[in-house]
């Protein structure tokens, strides 16, 4: 294509809310055959709300929310926002020290509530298990029930034992199913990639039209890159769409990285294309635009 055509294509993209980093990006966009979609914040709104609190035997539900909420107040994760917001509604949150974000697993820290201090963990059961705080059978079954209905549950533990779970729900964006249908009609295979639980991931995949064999769940942030590399090793030309800090490395590794304009700066910087409005349909527009600009389709 001529430089003029590329400039026109890039300009047209900007009108459609597709910010393209450079003219060479159109060439890679034209060739991708697989599109890996981050779940939270990309296919779903990422705006979660707390829907339920389950406490272990002898534990107060309000305390589960209060201690977890205090800790999550220091985290930017969508799950954390939902928990902290709900906890704040119940009163002033306790003080937190030694806060640590354990990437892809959850958060930990020391929460001082009145006279007593507790070492609190909030996150995947795996995080609690790492600290020898396995879920009780009741908590485990509550967690499974939430996942089966497409909700995300995180575990809460303190002072050496699992104490409860918090259930949050994240709405699928109304445009996601249409976007995925459009990507398919352009010949791309959609893959859903997430750190979230397998059951939740499958339920979202089914709702938006991603085949169950193309669901890759319970992936740690560092493993997201390896998934992209593996697909590339199978000869696929891979586009990846993501929004989070934890997607940045995978976006950079993909042949074509697309970030949500509503996402984090780190993801935007690591990507080749930014979908300004955070609407996944613009990913299909971007592929169409590149094929048009480079003369593959009219
Ligand atoms: P995704 O790929 O879905 O955006 P992440 O890699 O950010 O997910 O997180 C993976 C999982 O780790 C979450 O589904 C959650 O169970 C847990 N997690 C991560 N951060 C937090 C947090 N701040 N509070 C509770 N759980 C968390
Ligand atoms: Mg995300």
Residue 3's pLDDT band (cuts 50, 70, 90)? confident
Average pLDDT over residues 238-252: 95
- Dist CA 218 CA 226 (whole Å): 13
Ligand number nearest CA of 193 is 1
ipTM field: 0.91
Q: Bridge partners of 169? A: 49
Q: Which atom of ligand 1 is nearest to the CA of 46?
A: 4
The per-residue pLDDT for range 168-199, each reduced to its tens digit, is: 988 899 999 999 999 999 999 999 999 988 98
Domains of the chain: 3-45+172-293 (3.40.50.1000), 47-170 (3.40.1110.10)
Q: Which helix (H) or strand (E) holds 252?
A: helix 248-253
This prediction has a pTM of 0.77
Residue 38 annotated among the catalytic residues of the structure: yes
Q: Helix H segments across 97-247?
A: 125-130, 137-148, 176-185, 198-208, 221-233
- Taking the C-alpha atoms of residue 141 and residue 135, their distance in angstroms, rounded to an integer, is 9
Provide the Cα torsion 45, 51, 57, 61; round to 10°: 110
The CA 10 to ligand 1 mean position distance, Å, reads 35
Of the chain, the end-to-end C-alpha distance in Å amounts to: 14
Q: Which residues line ligand 1 (CB under 6 A)?
A: 38-40, 72, 75, 77, 79-80, 104-107, 122-124, 152, 154, 194-196, 221, 244, 246
Lowest mean pLDDT among 10-14, 120-124, 191-195, 284-288: 10-14
């Amino acid at each position: 294509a001529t430089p003029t055509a590329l400039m026109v294509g890039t300009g047209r993209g900007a009108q459609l809310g597709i910010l393209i980093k450079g003219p060479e990006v159109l060439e890679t966009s034209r060739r991708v055959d697989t599109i890996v979609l981050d779940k939270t914040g990309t296919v779903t709104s990422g705006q979660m709300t707390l829907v339920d609190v389950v406490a272990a035997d002898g534990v107060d539900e309000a305390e589960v929310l209060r201690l977890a909420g205090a800790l999550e107040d220091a985290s930017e994760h969508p799950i954390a926002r939902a928990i902290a917001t709900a906890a704040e509604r119940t009163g002033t949150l306790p003080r937190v020290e030694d806060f640590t974000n354990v990437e892809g697993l959850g958060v930990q820290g020391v929460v001082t509530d009145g006279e007593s201090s507790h070492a609190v963990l909030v996150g995947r059961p795996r995080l609690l298990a790492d600290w020898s705080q396995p879920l009780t059978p009741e908590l485990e079954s509550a967690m499974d029930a939430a996942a089966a209905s497409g909700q995300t549950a995180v575990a809460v533990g303190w002072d050496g034992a699992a104490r409860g779970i918090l259930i949050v729900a994240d709405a699928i964006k109304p445009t996601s199913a249409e976007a995925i249908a459009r990507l398919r009609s352009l010949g791309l295979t959609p893959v859903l990639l997430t750190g979230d639980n397998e059951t939740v991931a499958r339920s979202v995949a089914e709702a938006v039209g991603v085949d169950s064999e193309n669901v890759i769940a319970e992936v740690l942030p560092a493993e997201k890159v390896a998934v992209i590399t593996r697909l590339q090793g199978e000869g696929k030309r891979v586009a990846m769409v993501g929004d989070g800090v934890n997607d940045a490395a995978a976006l950079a590794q993909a042949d074509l990285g697309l970030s949500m304009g509503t996402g984090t700066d780190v993801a935007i910087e690591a990507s080749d294309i930014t979908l300004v409005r955070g609407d996944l349909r613009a990913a299909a527009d971007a592929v169409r635009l590149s094929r048009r600009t480079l003369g593959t389709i009219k």
